[in-house]
Structure 1
Amino acid sequence: MERFYQYLRHYTSHPLEENEQQLLAKAFVLRRFRRKQYLLQEGDICRHLSLITKGAMRQYSVDDKGVEHIVQFGIENWWMSDRESFELGSVSKYNIDAWEDTEVLQIGYDDWWTLRNAIPAMRILTAEMDKRHSIAAQKRIHAAITLTAEERYLEMLQHQPAFVQRFPQNMIASYLGISPETLSRIRKQAFLRGD
């Protein structure tokens, strides 16, 4: 739980009372996932929010032709869930699995909302998470409709270099919405330019 308390202190200066720490410790569960083990499978309902404390995960859908479309990567201090499924109790259209051996702190829907309403620091954290998620989604949509494939790759290199180091090229290409061959060409051109 100390990792979570550090995470919470990073996003809010509101101190936690002793009883609030105890409530949080009871609500969060540490879970471990082996590489390629599912956190969530398409067709299930997402019942937990999961904060990655160690490792890396990906969220993706698979189309009728069996092609994976990655919508999110997650590494340490990133939350993984299908927010639509979690909030609405709807069936998920996504898979979330561990790309590396991964540890997460997991909290269920009822505990999340109870603690959000009971602990001021959790309200602040929720507002910050929602703000960051909204901004990230807006940037992702903007990039998809206005930037070239090369610009999207260079933006990822600038803002999320850990993704390029921890996920294979075919997954990076899927996340960027391009073919692995196009990404290979872009990387080669960037290397020749010294980017």
Structure 2
Amino acid sequence: MHETLLQYISQYAKSSLTDEEKGLVSTAFLPKKLRKKQYFLQEGGVCKHFGFIVHGAMRQYSVDEKGIEHVVQLATENWWVGDRESYLMLTPSLYNIDAWEETNLLIVERADLLNLFQEVPALALMAREMDNRNAMASQRRLNAAISFSAEKRYSDFAKDHPEFLQRFPQHLIASYLGITKETLSRIRKQLM
């Protein structure tokens, strides 16, 4: 299970890990299995772990006062899950994160990750690269939400994440895109 994470770190850091660094990472990242619909984090709890998905699919969402779910992240293999604000600031989370499919993760506690950044430079490089990519993706998603039509948002989503169309139901994809499932259904019919 750790080999997937070690390859991921090397890929994004653009450098190989030493055997000692591989050992440190493998010791700090612990395996965790989630059943379908099992929570990784519930709203109001503090996010004590960040997870790397080895196998499975998860979603991160909030629930408004009317009980409507708003999906902010969909994630599959080689994606990270956790509430960054809660994890870093040790504050109650605004989000729920659960497994959409049976999921195998490697999880790391905050203190262990901070230590690893000191001891494994490639991990710190990977985190910086991922932070940059995350910031750019967030900016693009915000721009799409305020500027693009529902059709354009769906078409970009389908182009960028074709695997998600197979792994997640339409109502979750619609929520992620900020549209109703009826609108998504109409868009899909038009594209066929």
The TM-score bracket by the shorter chain reads over 0.9
Instruction: Give the superposition deviation at 1:115.
Output: 0.3
Instruction: Give the superposition deviation at 1:129.
Output: 1.2
1:43 counterpart SS class = coil
Structure 2: unaligned runs, 5 residues or longer: none
Matches of 1:22 and 1:150, distance apart in 2? 47
> Which 4+ stretches in 1 moved above 3 angstroms?
none
- For residues 1-195 of structure 1, what are the structure 2 equivalents within 5 Å? 1-191=2-192
Instruction: Give the superposition deviation at 1:125.
Output: 0.7
Instruction: Give the superposition deviation at 1:18.
Output: 1.8
Instruction: Give the superposition deviation at 1:49.
Output: 1.0
1:90 counterpart SS class = coil
RMSD: 0.8
Instruction: Give the superposition deviation at 1:155.
Output: 0.4
Residue 106 of structure 2 aligns to which amino acid in structure 1?
L
- TM-score (ref. length: structure 2): 0.97
2:8 counterpart SS class = helix
Matches of 1:85 and 1:42, distance apart in 2? 10
Matches of 1:17 and 1:163, distance apart in 2? 34
Matches of 1:139 and 1:13, distance apart in 2? 25
Q: Report if aligned partners of 1:52, 1:75 keep a CA contact under 8 Å in 2.
A: yes
Residue 59 of structure 1 aligns to which amino acid in structure 2?
Q
What per-residue deviation string (whole Å, max 9, x for no partner) do you get for residues 94-137 of structure 1?
00000000000100000101001211101111101101110110
What per-residue deviation string (whole Å, max 9, x for no partner) do you get for residues 6-30 of structure 1?
1112112322122211111110101
The count of residues paired between Structure 1 and Structure 2 equals: 191
Matches of 2:173 and 2:16, distance apart in 1? 39
Percent identity between the two aligned chains: 49
Instruction: Give the superposition deviation at 1:140.
Output: 0.6
Instruction: Give the superposition deviation at 1:64.
Output: 0.7
Matches of 1:25 and 1:72, distance apart in 2? 26
2:37 counterpart SS class = coil
Q: Report if aligned partners of 1:52, 1:104 keep a CA contact under 8 Å in 2.
A: yes
- TM-score (ref. length: structure 1): 0.96
Residue 124 of structure 1 aligns to which amino acid in structure 2?
L
Q: Report if aligned partners of 1:14, 1:120 keep a CA contact under 8 Å in 2.
A: no
Q: Report if aligned partners of 1:61, 1:94 keep a CA contact under 8 Å in 2.
A: yes
Residue 109 of structure 2 aligns to which amino acid in structure 1?
G
Matches of 2:14 and 2:142, distance apart in 1? 32
Matches of 1:86 and 1:129, distance apart in 2? 16
Matches of 1:10 and 1:20, distance apart in 2? 15
